[in-house]
């Protein structure tokens, strides 16, 4: 997954504003450390040769967060990101989490090394090649496979089954067994995968609802409605300045909002039941690549028609995410596909410039009578493995249990969140936890709880995170809120984006990518070439190239490596 996009920095901001400490699926991962950004104590000696002080079989009564009677030592590595800030006196080696591991679990942590996020993966490659890895090893999917093939990591199956708390197991299986399966080799769990849930990445259709009302347009229910809205927003002067200077549908050059979180063709494609860059089942039960299916051709043809009619930004092929967002901020665009957090970016700029601007999220719409299902890819790419021979592999599970209990368990209070998640002055200390995980429906639950409280005026059942969100929304509704409070209402309020997300949840509409394994051999060698080919061909078709170029693309895709990848993917699918 791509990283470093401003849109996904905005997703992190959602988390910051409401103290939700789930990691973004994805896309705020900073080179191996989203689910397990591992801070540690600099003074602890290596624990590689230590005798186990508590084996998995030591007691039939396992305490998932039990403290070691004699402190144990454990080492790791850490990626340093630009967003990391420390309370006064704290460092990456000495902070609230490293102190808690020692005080509450009896685990003394040490950083073997640290690196900037941009070079962390490369440095870990060197570490793996030399055989000199820490006890806890934050890795990418390809690196994990290398470690497993080299017999360098522990089998965690038994310690997971014994030490993972019920709440931990619940969070890791909220979306089925995909997460754990991604770290399973020959039936053995060889690492702890990054889990934050993919539900929040569901695609939505965002519309300037004040423009809908002004032009007397119905809410979108079909693809035809989207085309009509794009036409009206282009040609009927929705901003009322007497000029033809507004854009119908905004796109950006990367094409897919899964890469940037904003202004992609994904949602439009899903409306045609097309799933480019997904692996989907065909009629025989085998996996095929969604990019080369006829449904994609039909969606591209419609986008081409819209582009020719001037309903799509003519310059989208040269605009990155930030550039594509400028018309919305300037009040010149009112229609785009994106994600639940877009009120934080880019719609906040639109609201700042025009306090009357209103944005409403709708479920994506279909071209026919079949429901449109937003595609979800659970391509898990971040893991924490335990070095082969480390005496206490269950320590990693205990650290994970502690994090989950403090953020989602019965012990969660406003005080614990402010100490271990985000401080009152906004420092995101949760980033220093070695092992992290997030509930896939945490944000949806905030919406459901908050909207119920808004109706009943009873906040007694709200947890600290929900109460803070409630307070932000009621401030906006009272007329005294800023754009920040407006954004919270547009996300979590009664008519916010999670109203549409809840429709997906209630109707079980999310459509999952069937492949979530480590990259196959040919993927590693050819996927970037295939992706580049796809971007170029699809962009040119939208801008006017013959639709027959799609058929040529399919042939080339197969020849350049697609057929071999398809064979490898199906071998994985049959043996997973």
In 3D, which of 134, 150, 23 has the Cα closest to residue 73? 134
For residues 164 and 404, give the distance between their C-alpha atoms in angstroms, rounded to a whole number.
10
For residues 147 and 143, give the distance between their C-alpha atoms in angstroms, rounded to a whole number.
6
One digit per residue, the tens of pLDDT, for the chain of length 576 reads 333 333 343 343 343 344 343 333 333 333 333 333 222 222 223 333 344 444 444 445 789 999 999 999 999 999 988 778 999 999 999 999 999 999 999 999 999 999 998 899 999 999 999 999 999 999 998 899 999 999 999 999 999 999 999 999 999 998 888 889 889 998 999 999 988 778 888 999 999 999 999 999 999 999 999 999 999 999 999 999 999 999 999 999 999 977 678 899 999 999 999 999 999 999 999 999 999 999 999 999 999 999 999 999 999 999 998 999 999 889 999 999 999 999 999 999 999 999 999 999 999 999 999 999 999 887 678 899 999 999 999 999 999 999 999 988 988 888 888 899 988 888 889 999 999 998 888 899 999 999 999 999 999 988 878 998 999 999 999 998 899 999 999 999 999 999 999 999 999 998 989 998 778 899 989 999 999 999 999 999 999 999 999 999 999 999 999 999 999 999 999 887
DSSP state of 49: T
- Note the CATH architecture for domain 6-197+379-432: 3-Layer(aba) Sandwich (3.40)
For residues 84 and 252, give the distance between their C-alpha atoms in angstroms, rounded to a whole number.
29
Reading the block at residue 563, the tokens are: 């057929």
For residues 269 and 169, give the distance between their C-alpha atoms in angstroms, rounded to a whole number.
34
In 3D, which of 147, 145, 119, 118 has the Cα closest to residue 135? 147
Return the beta strands (E) in 387-498 as ranges.
none
CATH topology of 6-197+379-432 equal to that of 203-373+519-576?
A: yes
Integer angstrom CA distances of residue 460 from 448, 454, 489: 14, 12, 20
**Contact call for residues 4 and 83 (beta carbons, < 8 A):** no
Where along the chain do its domains lie?
A: 6-197+379-432, 203-373+519-576
The region, left, alpha or beta by phi > 0 then psi within -120 to 50, assigned to residue 515 is beta
Reading the block at residue 30, the tokens are: 């900073």
In 3D, which of 183, 187, 172, 177 has the Cα closest to residue 512? 177
DSSP state of 393: T
Q: Whole-model pTM above 0.75?
A: yes
Integer angstrom CA distances of residue 125 from 117, 139, 520: 14, 9, 18
- Note the CATH architecture for domain 203-373+519-576: 3-Layer(aba) Sandwich (3.40)
């Amino acid at each position: 997954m791509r990283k470093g996009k401003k849109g996904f920095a905005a997703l992190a901001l959602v988390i910051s504003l409401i103290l939700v400490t789930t990691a973004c699926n994805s896309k705020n991962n900073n080179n191996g450390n989203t689910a397990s950004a591992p801070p540690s104590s600099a003074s602890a000696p290596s624990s590689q040769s230590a005798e186990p002080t508590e084996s998995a079989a030591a007691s039939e009564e396992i305490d998932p967060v039990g403290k070691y009677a004699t402190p144990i030592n454990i080492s790791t590595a850490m990626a340093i990101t630009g967003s990391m800030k420390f309370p006064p006196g704290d460092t990456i080696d000495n902070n609230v989490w490293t102190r808690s591991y020692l005080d509450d679990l009896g685990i003394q942590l040490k950083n073997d090394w640290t690196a900037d996020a941009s070079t962390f993966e490369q440095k870990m490659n060197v570490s793996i090649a030399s055989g000199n890895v820490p006890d806890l090893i934050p890795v990418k999917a390809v690196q994990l496979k290398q470690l497993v093939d080299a017999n360098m990591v522990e089998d965690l199956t038994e310690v997971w089954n014994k030490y993972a708390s019920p709440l931990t197991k619940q969070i890791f299986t909220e979306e089925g067994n995909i997460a754990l399966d991604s770290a399973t080799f020959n039936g053995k769990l060889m690492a702890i995968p990054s889990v934050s849930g993919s539900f929040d990445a569901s695609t939505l259709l965002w519309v300037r609802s004040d423009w809908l009302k002004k032009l007397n347009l119905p809410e979108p229910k079909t693809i035809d409605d989207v085309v009509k809205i794009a036409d009206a927003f282009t040609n009927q002067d929705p901003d009322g300045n007497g000029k033809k200077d507004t854009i119908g549908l905004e796109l950006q050059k990367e094409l897919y909002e899964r890469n940037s979180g904003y202004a992609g063709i994904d949602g439009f494609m899903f409306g045609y039941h097309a799933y480019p860059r997904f692996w989907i089942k065909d009629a025989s039960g085998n996996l095929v690549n969604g990019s080369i299916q006829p449904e994609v051709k039909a969606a591209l043809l419609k986008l081409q028609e819209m582009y020719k009619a001037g309903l799509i930004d003519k310059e989208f092929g040269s605009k990155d995410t930030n550039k594509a967002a400028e018309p919305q901020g300037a009040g010149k665009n009112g229609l785009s596909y994106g994600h639940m957090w877009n009120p934080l970016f880019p719609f906040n700029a639109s609201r700042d410039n025009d306090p009357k601007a209103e944005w409403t999220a709708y479920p994506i719409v279909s071209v026919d009578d079949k429901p449109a299902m937003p595609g979800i890819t659970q391509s898990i790419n971040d893991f924490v493995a335990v070095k082969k021979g480390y005496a206490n592999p269950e320590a990693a599970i205990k650290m994970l249990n502690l994090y989950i209990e403090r953020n989602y368990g019965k012990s969660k209070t406003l005080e614990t969140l402010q100490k271990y998640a985000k401080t009152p002055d906004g420092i995101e200390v949760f980033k220093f936890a070695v092992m992290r995980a997030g509930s896939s429906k945490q944000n949806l639950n905030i919406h459901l709880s908050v909207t119920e409280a808004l109706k009943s005026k009873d906040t007694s059942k709200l947890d600290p995170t929900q109460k803070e969100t409630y307070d932000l929304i009621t401030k906006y509704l009272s007329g005294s809120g800023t754009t920040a409070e407006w954004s919270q209402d547009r996300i979590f309020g009664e008519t916010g984006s999670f109203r549409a997300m809840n429709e997906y949840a209630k109707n079980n509409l999310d459509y999952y990518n069937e492949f979530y394994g480590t990259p196959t051999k040919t993927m590693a060698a050819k996927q970037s070439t295939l992706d580049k080919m796809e971007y170029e061909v699809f962009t040119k078709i939208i801008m006017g190239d013959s639709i027959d170029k799609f058929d040529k693309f399919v042939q080339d895709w197969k020849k350049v490596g697609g057929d071999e990848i398809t064979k490898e993917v199906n071998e994985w699918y049959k043996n997973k």
